[in-house]
Structure 1
Amino acid sequence: MFLALRELRHAKLRYTLIAAIMILVAWLTFMVSGLANGLAADNASAVQTMEGRAFLLQQDAEGKIGRSVLSEDLLADVQQQVGREQATPFSYMMLSLEKGSAKMDVTLFGIDNTGFLAPNLVKGSRPAKENEVVVSQAFEEKGIRIGDVLESKDFKQTFVITGFTDKRMFSHTPVVYVSLEQLQKLLPNGTKSMQAIALTTDKLEKPAGTALFSKDELVRHIPGYKEEQGSLTMMTLFLVVIAAFVQAGFFYVLTLQKTGQFGVLKAIGATTSYLAKSVVGQALLLAIAALVIALLLTFGAQELLPAGMPFVLSSTAIGQYASLLLLVSGLGTSLSLLQIARIDAIEAIGRAA
């Protein structure tokens, strides 16, 4: 490391430019990762935070909740099999609600308010009357408060807000929790059906015509979720690959420029492994410094983003991408190491002379 640190001090401008490019690539990687996590939460956080372990849907629905239709008789059979407390009905509906002149697209989650799908409250109280609801904290960001009335003119229905749960979203719309019976009244002819049955166990003898899905599988089948996350993940991985190529190119060119110096060092006794450790050490030191600065820039940018921007920094994702960038930094110097191993001391000294 002595040689690596000495060279970094000697050629400050050269290595500062390399570090600047690494910082920008790492920063962009973290920003895209935060955007991917934010969009994932904006699309599916209401399902991701559900207490259910497994979900029973109609088999023909192919994991899409909106396509599934289950009967009350089937719910009764499932509850008899696993216990009433371990199975609860669930349906959803997307519609527009108004408060004064403000109009909002929302998703109604129809649940059993006494079951395990009932959301935890961060403010207010649970519904006590039929038209009372608990809503996502996303409404609070729009200036809506407890006691406000939301109106659906299409269905001639009003909802009084009694409490807030944390920020829960579905398909990029805030969630309103109503009783299943209340949601069913909005359906044509007051249909007494449901779309899914949430279970706290996956040990179930499935009734004919149904299929059991885990929470993760249910999230992946939300329309647009898989495609959206796939695109952003591919962008992030491309950035990691670009980082590897950029760093490999820089250090390979630097190694070629220093062939004569490496030849002299070999002639006076420096081993190939010592020189290789020096190059790898330089790459890792620059990568670590770049990652630290990129993280600070990312946290700073997060504070400046608008409140409604779907951006979530996950410590798991940051750790994964930081480790991956460190790994490619080490691998990116492999071409340089091969070049160092091929250097002949006498030939290199002759070139330098």
Structure 2
Amino acid sequence: MYLAIREMRFVKVRYSLISIIMLLVAFLVLFVTGLARGLAYDNAASIQNMDATHFIMEKDSNHRFTRSQISEQVLLQASSIVGEDDVQPLGVKMTTMTAEGKIGKLDVTLLGINPEGWLMPKLTEGAAITATGTGQVLVDRKLKDSGIGLGTVLIDQASGLKWTVSGFVNHESFSHSPAVFLNEHDWQQLQLTTITRTSSATKWTDSTYNAVAVKANTHQKEQLTAVLADAEIVTKADAVSAIPGYKEEQGSLWMMIIFLFIISSFVLAVFFYVITIQKSSQFGILKAIGTRTGYLVRSVALQVLLLSAGSLVVSMLLIQVTESILPSGMPFLLQSSTIALTSSAFVIMSLAGSLLSVWKVTKIEALDAIGRTAA
């Protein structure tokens, strides 16, 4: 440790340049990871926020809410197995709305829920919707950027139904569109209106919801699978992955992150390898006076560890500053667990990149390095 720190203090410029490069790479890795997690959460926030462990959907719906149609009979059967308190109906419909007195259209996702159930999101402003009331909805706060406020009347373009905004919720979206929550009565009214306006009325004759959210253990899931022959039990993770564009979007972003790790390890490998070659004579002299190879290897590894750890600390501070100045509408999310995992991966990749230098140190011969040949 003494040798590693002593050398870094002696050659400040060289190691400062390496630190800057590692800092930029670490910052880029953390920033792209934050964007990936933010986009993932924004794409499926409403589903991820739900306390459900599974969702009952129509068979062959490919785990997609918008393709599934579930009858009320399924809801009753699930209640008899899991318990009435652990079952909640869920309606999902992506649509386009307009606001009275305003120009422009809004792409939103309507979510039909029981306001007295555990699918009800936390209210942040205004008044909550009730099970007995009609014509009232809760909307995601992002709609405020479009001029939507308390008391604004929203008009569904497909059905022509009108609802008044009674309150706001935070971080509720589906497929990157703001969520609009309405009670079961308004959801049923929406379905009846849709039936009369479309030619596929028979398709919705016995269906009232898109899914049933349940809290079920492994045994209960097996019972539900056995009883509900025309439905399938989907885990929350599978339901999130099936949201249109979710897997493709995350696949591209995580591929970028993986390549960033690989590139950073190669960059560090080249830098430390060149430095090791430049110090070959010094390592040779140290070996000639009795310094063990293991000590020199630990010195190189410690330098990489200190530089990567220091770069990560500074990059985390920069990330916090950057996050504070990002636009409110930009999806960015870096939780403590994600930071810990990403930082650990970065340190491991940095140490992996130094293996070439470590290998070079073990191969240095003392006499050859100091310009002499063995007798």
Give the TM-score range, shorter chain. Answer: over 0.9
- Paired residues for 1:156-167 under 5 Å: 156-167=160-171
**Distance of 1:208 and 1:84 partners within structure 2:** 20
**Distance of 1:83 and 1:261 partners within structure 2:** 74
* CA displacement 1:31-50 (0-9 Å, x = unmatched): 10111111111100000001
**One-letter identity of the residue aligned with 2:105:** K
**Distance of 2:270 and 2:55 partners within structure 1:** 50
Q: Counterpart of 2:183? A: 179
**One-letter identity of the residue aligned with 1:201:** A
Matched length:
352
**One-letter identity of the residue aligned with 2:367:** I
Q: Counterpart of 2:117? A: 115
Q: Counterpart of 2:150? A: 146
* CA displacement 1:119-161 (0-9 Å, x = unmatched): 2212222224210011122223444322222223442221111
Change in Cα spacing, 1:160 to 1:276, as seen in structure 2 (3 Å) is same
**One-letter identity of the residue aligned with 1:286:** L
Change in Cα spacing, 1:272 to 1:181, as seen in structure 2 (3 Å) is same
1:291, CA displacement in angstroms? 0.8
Q: Counterpart of 1:267? A: 288
Select 1:326's aligned residue among 338, 341, 347.
347
Q: Counterpart of 1:79? A: 79
Secondary structure of 2:93's match? strand
Q: Give the superposed CA RMSD.
A: 1.7
**Distance of 2:224 and 2:369 partners within structure 1:** 75
Structure 1 outlier segments of 4+, above 4 Å: none
Q: Does the 8 Å contact 1:35/1:312 carry over to 2?
A: yes
Secondary structure of 1:326's match? helix
**Distance of 2:312 and 2:111 partners within structure 1:** 41
Secondary structure of 1:155's match? coil
**One-letter identity of the residue aligned with 2:268:** Q
**Distance of 2:81 and 2:360 partners within structure 1:** 69
Matched, 1:9 2:24: no
**Distance of 2:230 and 2:10 partners within structure 1:** 72
* CA displacement 1:147-204 (0-9 Å, x = unmatched): 2222234422211112222221101111000123323333332644211111122413
Q: Counterpart of 1:189? A: 195
* CA displacement 1:180-230 (0-9 Å, x = unmatched): 332333333264421111112241333112111111111011111111111
Q: Does the 8 Å contact 2:4/2:303 carry over to 1?
A: yes
**Distance of 1:290 and 1:199 partners within structure 2:** 45
**Distance of 1:77 and 1:263 partners within structure 2:** 78
Q: Does the 8 Å contact 1:151/1:158 carry over to 2?
A: yes
1:102, CA displacement in angstroms? 4.1
Change in Cα spacing, 1:153 to 1:331, as seen in structure 2 (3 Å) is closer
Q: Does the 8 Å contact 1:56/1:198 carry over to 2?
A: yes
* CA displacement 1:84-115 (0-9 Å, x = unmatched): 22212111111222222243111100112222
Secondary structure of 2:371's match? helix
Q: Does the 8 Å contact 1:67/1:195 carry over to 2?
A: yes
**One-letter identity of the residue aligned with 1:103:** K
**Distance of 2:295 and 2:144 partners within structure 1:** 60
Q: Does the 8 Å contact 2:129/2:183 carry over to 1?
A: no
**One-letter identity of the residue aligned with 1:114:** E
Q: Counterpart of 2:68? A: 68
- Paired residues for 1:1-353 under 5 Å: 1-99=1-99, 100-128=102-130, 129-187=133-191, 188-189=194-195, 191=204, 192-202=207-217, 203=220, 204-206=223-225, 207-350=228-371
**One-letter identity of the residue aligned with 1:68:** S
**One-letter identity of the residue aligned with 1:42:** D
1:22, CA displacement in angstroms? 0.9
Secondary structure of 1:70's match? coil
**One-letter identity of the residue aligned with 2:288:** A
**One-letter identity of the residue aligned with 1:165:** V
Give the TM-score taking structure 2 as reference length: 0.89
1:255, CA displacement in angstroms? 0.8
**Distance of 1:102 and 1:351 partners within structure 2:** 81
Secondary structure of 2:159's match? coil
Secondary structure of 1:229's match? helix
**Which ranges of structure 1 fall in alignment gaps of 5 or more residues?**
none
Give the TM-score taking structure 1 as reference length: 0.95
Q: Does the 8 Å contact 2:172/2:179 carry over to 1?
A: yes
**One-letter identity of the residue aligned with 1:125:** A
**One-letter identity of the residue aligned with 1:199:** V
Q: Does the 8 Å contact 1:260/1:351 carry over to 2?
A: no
With 322-331 and 155-164 compared, the bigger mean Cα shift is at 155-164
Secondary structure of 1:306's match? coil
